[in-house]
Structure 1
């Protein structure tokens, strides 16, 4: 082979060829939980039953949750009925996304009636979105923004104004100004909105939202209110947002007289997906939310919700 040919072939080689999957020898998939992990550890690796179906499903969900994202996404969590778990859903979604993704995630409480998002996540609400608004012109760095947030694990939290009289002043223009700053420093902004769809800040939330989560319950009033939320959105030209929405049914209250299958089918016909969150004693206390204290079925429901939201994180969005 001529020297010139050797050089030409060498020039075609790039660092991209040295990927893990190209240069590492294949290794057996080792289980990390349950009896399978115990058997593998006790036999010092001689016996490897491999991951079970549950672990494989969890890994698949986590892979979806970690979908790449090239531009900021704003996720609105809403309901026109209070007490159905809207803030709980926003809290758990934020915790899951922040824990399992490498980018920055913030949960913003846009409830005009002294919201409880910060109480559920960090217990710190002395500094609020109102303080950030007052100093917005002086916020130019990540360090500046972090002075107005509290931390729950890897999730940043921006509390709502706790004085209802003052929080009423949080209008659409102010919400948009806050979001404009947040998307400069955070890849994912989760907004826990109020229950009033006609409130000025809610209009701003819907206008900017890339994804929508509507929270309801498998009860007559909870399901009806969630469906009326969709009706209102469709009547006000948010059809695309509704079609791509995920409905979360919080199953804290349940009754054998309710046909949950029919409720689920109703919302599946109207939106992209439905997630049912089972009753969980830890969430039912109304106190600080900790993912590690959730029952496995509850944790899996929020992983499914996070995966559904992340399915829309396609490159170039």
Structure 2
């Protein structure tokens, strides 16, 4: 026997169809003022047991917004290249801190790869373990069929996995474009974000592969005569060799370990702001200046916030490359 159809009977009540989306947090949780954690606002909130809540200050609100941006959904593997035509400006430090920051605030897999052809120090700064390296992985790529297989050749720094460079300079010179691309093909199968700490030689074969595969590019310089001019020449080289879009979309990091009152820092920043998507200034930090193992918890707040801003800027490009407005030479302030 079939059930009678009562949908048209006015005396029969039919309950509306419920949806799980109606039980979202925004819909059913009563308003709660955000709880401050930093500065005088955080101190007041804690000292009164939460009875007095002054709300978030502008700095803390900006910080939480950056964390939210960093945690945005990533539809596929994303490769970030950190480069500079000049050594000694903090490229490895930027790679390390960026990797730690992304791994700290995301729930997926992040790996930092040292592609420096001159016995790079990325693993030394992060995990201190160079017993296995990219050469070992290359020699066993045919057996790297799972995350567990690949992880045998990495070390761990917090939640960040690190793939060290070959420590024998004679051997590392053989790390060419074809080998770099083979390594990245494996890494992007098992990791959501791959950060490459590239060498300083832009004409090196592996660097060609780095630029070809990079979804995002970070150029590292310094607010000094040599550091700024070399970073600017890096952008010139990219434009001259068919990478104008990457140059316009890149983020320039100015490492302020070396500063001088004789340098017009505003002019340096303005020059790069006119040439790329964004500029981040990383202040001098005693913890980073030691050249030893890097720990996010030991960074000064201003340094931590600078790397948080860098990670958020790169996360803005997850899934697509941010558009860059075309520039004319007149828009770029000279460094001379």
Shorter-normalised TM range: over 0.9
Please name the residue that 1:244 is paired with.
Answer: 249
1:9 is matched with which residue: 7, 12, 16? Answer: 16
Please name the residue that 1:127 is paired with.
Answer: 132
User: Aligned partners of 1:315 and 1:168: how far apart in 2?
Assistant: 33
Shift of 1:315: 7.4
1:90-148 deviation digits (Å, cap 9, x = unpaired)? 00000000000111100000000000000000000010000000000001111111101
* Compared CA separation, residues 196 and 315, structure 1 to 2 (3 A): closer
Please name the residue that 1:146 is paired with.
Answer: 151
| Unaligned residue ranges in structure 2 (runs of 5+) | 323-336
Q: Who wins on radius of gyration, i.e. which is larger?
A: 2
User: Aligned partners of 2:261 and 2:51: how far apart in 1?
Assistant: 49
Please name the residue that 1:312 is paired with.
Answer: 317
> Which structure ranks higher in relative contact order (CA pairs < 8 Å, sequence separation ≥ 6)?
1
Please name the residue that 1:191 is paired with.
Answer: 196
TM-score (norm 2): 0.90
User: Aligned partners of 1:236 and 1:161: how far apart in 2?
Assistant: 28
| Unaligned residue ranges in structure 1 (runs of 5+) | none
Please name the residue that 1:303 is paired with.
Answer: 308
1:17-52 deviation digits (Å, cap 9, x = unpaired)? 321111222222222233323322333322211222
Please name the residue that 1:253 is paired with.
Answer: 258
Superposed CA RMSD in Å reads 1.7
Q: Which moved more, 1:253-262 or 1:37-46?
A: 37-46
What stretches of structure 1 move > 3 A for 4+ residues in a row? 5-9, 314-317
SS at match of 2:16: helix
8 Å Cα contact 1:68-1:315 kept in structure 2: no
TM-score (norm 1): 0.95
Q: Which structure: greater helix fraction?
A: 1
Please name the residue that 1:37 is paired with.
Answer: 42
User: Aligned partners of 2:14 and 2:220: how far apart in 1?
Assistant: 62
User: Aligned partners of 2:199 and 2:78: how far apart in 1?
Assistant: 20
8 Å Cα contact 2:224-2:263 kept in structure 1: yes
SS at match of 1:106: strand
Please name the residue that 2:329 is paired with.
Answer: none
How many residues end up aligned between the 2 structures?
314
Q: Which moved more, 1:184-193 or 1:306-315?
A: 306-315
SS at match of 1:4: coil
Confirm or deny that 1:158 pairs with 2:150.
no
